[in-house]
Amino acid sequence: MELRLKNLVKDFTGTRAVDTGELTILDGKLTGLLGPSGCGKSTLLYLISGLQKPTSGRIYFGDRDVTDLPPEKREIGLVFQNYALYPHMTVAQNIAFPLVNRKVKKAEIRERTAKMASLVQIEELLNRKPNQLSGGQQQRVAIARALVKRPEILLLDEPLSNLDARLRLEMREEIRRIQTETGVTTVFVTHDQEEAMSITDEIILMKKGVVQQQCGPQQMYLDPVNQFVASFLGSPPIDYFRFPLRDGRLWITEGYSLPMDVRHEGGILTGIRPEAWGRGDALQVQIQTVEHRGKDTLITFGLAGTRARALLDITDTVRPGETIGVTLRPQFLYLFDAESGVRIRQEEEQ
C-alpha cells in the first residue's frame, strides 16, 4: 500500500521534530528512513503508526486518510528497537497475541503462527520464553508478531541496533528476504548509512525533521543534492576543499585543473570522495598515513591546506612519507555552495 504524507508536522515544546512536506513511500518496497540521531526518524515512524498525533498535516494509506484513526485501526505492524516481546509469554503466545485480540479461530491462529514461524525460521523455538533467545532470534519473533496480522505496512524502528556486528549483517539480509517474500510495504528506520544503502529500495534522508533527499541508494550516493547528503553517505566520508574556479576550470593545484562548466556567485566547496582518487601522474602527493582496511588501503595526504583521503587498491604497497602520483576521476567530485551547502551543477547537466 502506498503511503503518502502531506505536510506532516510534529512539534514538541520548543522543537519541530518532523516536517515532511510532500512525501510518498512506495508500495511494496523497502524504504529506509535515514538520518543522524535526533533528526526525527522515530517520531515520523510513530506518526505513521498512530502512536503519536501530528501537530498538522495528513497521512494517507493509499486513498484512505488515516490521520485521525487510532493505531489499531491502521493495519500496521511495528517492530520496536528492543523488540518489546512480552517476557512472560512463550514465543508462540507472543506471535499469536495480535490474532487473539481479533478473535481469530483457534485452529487458524495455530496455522498462521506456524506459518510465520517458518517464514522467520524459528519453528523449533515456539515454546521458549523471550529471555531464552538470542538477540537475533528475538528480532525474528518480533517481526513474526508484527506480520502475523497481515498488515498493510510494516514499520521497523532501528531493528538492528541491539545486535552485534556480525548478526546485524545477517539480520539485515533476513529483513530484506522477508520483505521480498511477503511484499509488504516496509519502512525501516536506521542511522547507519551502510545498512540503509545495502538493503533498501529507496532512502529518505532526514536532517532536523526535514527530508533532504529521497531516491534509490545508489543515486543518493552518486548524486547528492546537498553537502549534508554527500557527507552522510560514504565511509570513509567525503572530503571538502576550497579550490579556486577560474576560466571554466577547477584548480586542484597550480599545475592541475579539471574543466568545470559552472556559473556561480559566491564561495564554492569541492567535495571529493576517497574513491575518486587513483594512481596516475596528474599530481604528486606525499603520503601522511596508511591504513590497511582489508579490502582496500586508505591513505591520507595534504592538499590545498587540508587533509585528503584516498582509497587505493589493496595490492598497492605504499608507505607513509612516500611520494606517489595520483589522478582524479571527476564523476566522484561535487561542487557545493559554501554558504548554503546546496549542490552546484555543471551547465550541461542542467
Partner 1 sequence: MSRKKIGRPENPLGNTRFSGRAYLYLLPAFLVLAVFVLYPIVMTLRMGFYESYVYLTDVGSGFGLSSFRYVLRDPAFQLAIRNTLIIVLVGVPITIALALGAALFINSLTRGRGVFQTIYFIPYVTSTIAIGLAFRWLFHSDYGYVNYVLSFFGVAPQKWLTDPNLTVVSVTIFTIWNGLAFKIVLFLAGLQKIDPQYYQAARIDGTPPRRVFFRITMPLLSSTFWMVVIVSVIHAFKTYNEVYSMYDGKSAGPGNSAITIVYYIYDMFFNRSQVHYASAAAIIFLLIVLALTALQKWISKRFVHYV
Ligand X SMILES: Nc1ncnc2c1ncn2[C@@H]1O[C@H](COP(=O)(O)OP(=O)(O)OP(=O)(O)O)[C@@H](O)[C@H]1O
Contact of residue 15 among Mg ion, ligand X, partner 1, none (CB under 5-8 Å per partner type): ligand X
Q: How far is it between the farthest Cα atoms of the chain?
A: 78
Contacts of 156 (CB under 8 A, 6+ apart): 78, 79, 143, 175, 186, 187, 188, 189
Q: Which is nearer to ligand X, 92 or 187 (CB)?
A: 187
Residues that bind ligand X (rule: CB under 6 A) add up to a total of 12
Residue among 3, 76, 163, 197 that touches partner 1 (CB under 8 A): 76
Determine the residue type at 82.
N
What residues numbered 86-145 form the site for partner 1, per CB under 8 A? 86-88, 97-98, 101-102, 131, 145
20 binds ligand X (CB under 6 A): no
Q: Which of 207, 237, 233 is nearest to 219 (CA)?
A: 233
Please say whether the beta carbons of 171 and 163 come within 8 A. yes
Residues that bind partner 1 (rule: CB under 8 A) add up to a total of 23
Q: What is the rounded end-to-end Cα distance, in angstroms, of the chain?
A: 34
Q: Half-sphere exposure (CA, 13 Å, Cβ side) for 199?
A: 25
Q: Which is nearer to partner 1, 158 or 239 (CB)?
A: 158
Helix (H, G, I), strand (E, B) or coil at 157: strand
**What sign has the CA pseudo-torsion 272, 274, 278, 283?**
positive
Residue among 5, 8, 35, 42 that touches Mg ion (CB under 5 A): 42
Contacts of 165 (CB under 8 A, 6+ apart): none
What's the closest the beta carbon of residue 275 comes to partner 1, in angstroms?
32
**Per-residue binder mask for ligand X (CB under 6 A), 153-172, x = binder:** --------------------
What's the closest the beta carbon of residue 5 comes to partner 1, in angstroms?
19
H-assigned helices in 25-105: 41-49, 91-101
164 binds partner 1 (CB under 8 A): yes
190 binds Mg ion (CB under 5 A): no
Residue among 4, 129, 149, 191 that touches ligand X (CB under 6 A): 191
138 binds Mg ion (CB under 5 A): no
38 binds ligand X (CB under 6 A): yes
110 binds ligand X (CB under 6 A): no
Instruction: Give the Cα-Cα-Cα angle 155, 160, 162 (nearest 5 degrees).
Output: 120
CB-count exposure of residue 29 (10 Å: 0-12, 13-18, 19+): middle
Residue among 12, 108, 218, 322 that touches ligand X (CB under 6 A): 12
Q: Stretches 32-40, 134-142, 249-257, 301-309: which one binds ligand X (CB under 6 A)?
A: 32-40
Question: What is the contact surface with partner 1 in residues (CB under 8 A)?
Answer: 49, 51, 70-73, 76-78, 80, 82, 84, 86-88, 97-98, 101-102, 131, 145, 149, 164
Question: What is the contact surface with ligand X in residues (CB under 6 A)?
Answer: 12, 15, 17, 35, 37-43, 191
